[in-house]
A and B are shown apart, each in its own frame.
Chain A
């Protein structure tokens, strides 16, 4: 069975601090995709990144970086020098090849305090 676990329900940091959001996934498939989405207070989910199971290279996009480690089944998301605008709920999701389903974690609420 596929499963995504985001153990951190809520995280609070002070502006300019770095913060890492954890994501652990479970799947028996060898081909799969992992995603991160941001849900600001408006409610609409915004796509941040997609990573396939054959590409373990870490990725950096501005203040955002992602660490994909198949050995620990983790796909963690780090925000460097956090800003108040980063306050949102962040979801990790899993999609396995051959299906149409996207399995989401329960989300991590990030609060960045000024």
Chain B
């Protein structure tokens, strides 16, 4: 069966520090991968998605970036965090076929920027 893992689960970082959140999917190959952010009191905002190794589509221009160095690995990064980067980050995947299947979400990473 397929599983998705994110880490770290919780992170407290000072403003201006770097960030690296990792997501790994197991039990499938060539998945579509997604990063969403859930800010307090707000919905899920799509940040990035990837349909293949090295292919990244950005939905929100900001100080975050994403990379997909391996088929089932998706990394969210920042060189310098802002206060507004605080939130709950969710990684998700789905099957490639047609892209209309449901998303499967990871456990989430809660980031607090101080």
Contacts and interface: CB of A to CB of B under 8 A. Distances in A.
Interface in A38-65: 42-47, 50, 52
B100 A95 contact: yes
Nearest to A9: B41
Contacts of B102: 35, 47, 50
A100 B99 contact: yes
Interface in B46-76: 46, 49, 51, 57, 59
A76 B106 CA distance: 25
A99 B57 CA distance: 12
Contacts of A6: 43
A83 interface: no
B103 interface: yes
A99 B99 contact: yes
Interface residues of A, number: 25
Nearest to B100: A33
Contacts, number: 57
A78 interface: no
Between B34, B59, B99, B107, the greatest number of chain A beta carbons within 10 A of the residue's beta carbon is seen for B99
A54 to B, nearest CB: 12
Contact of A106 (B43, B90, B110): B43
Interface string A95-107: 1010111111111
A9 to B, nearest CB: 8
Interface string B15-44: 000000000000000001010100000111
Given A45-B90, A91-B44, A107-B43, A102 B103 contact: yes
Contacts of B104: 47
B105 interface: yes
B110 A91 contact: no
A101 B45 CA distance: 11
Interface of B: 32, 34, 36, 42-44, 46, 49, 51, 57, 59, 88, 90, 92, 98-108, 110
Interface of A: 6, 33, 35, 37, 42-47, 50, 52, 91, 93, 95, 97, 99-107
